[in-house]
């Protein structure tokens, strides 16, 4: 039997701000980053925007609430800056 894994990810995508720009504004190194033109997935789709992602730091087997709490704690100090970035980017929290 496979254990369920949970991930909560903050994903910021933009056609104008690069991951490096976002990192400079937030002061947090991304867990994953990509740029326009990178290829992704099985079929090598070409990405249409730059991306910056942070993942929750809770253990994969923890409940969704734990992951959400862990993410909020991680981004709380830069919440205002994330708000400012949202004028030039799409900011999402993705739960899977």
pLDDT for 28 beyond 60? yes
Q: What's the pLDDT at 3?
A: 60
Strand partners, 80: none
Q: What does the pLDDT look like over 45-87, one tens digit per residue?
A: 999 999 999 999 888 788 889 999 999 999 999 999 999 999 9
Eight-class DSSP state of 3: P
Q: What's the pLDDT at 60?
A: 79
Helix (H) or strand (E) holding 71: helix 64-75
What is the pTM for the complete model shown? 0.89
Which residue do the tokens 């039997």 mark? 1
Q: How far does the chain reach from its first CA to its final CA, in angstroms?
A: 19
Q: What does the pLDDT look like over 5-18, one tens digit per residue?
A: 888 999 999 999 99
């Amino acid at each position: 039997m496979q254990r369920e894994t949970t991930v909560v990810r903050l994903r910021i995508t933009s056609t104008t701000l690069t991951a490096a720009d976002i990192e400079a504004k937030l002061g947090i190194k991304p867990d994953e980053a990509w740029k326009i033109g990178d290829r992704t997935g099985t079929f090598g789709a070409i990405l249409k925007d730059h991306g910056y992602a942070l993942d929750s730091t809770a253990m994969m087997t923890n409940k969704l609430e734990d992951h959400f709490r862990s993410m909020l704690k991680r981004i709380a100090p830069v919440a205002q800056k994330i708000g400012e970035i949202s004028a030039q980017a799409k900011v999402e929290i993705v739960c899977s």
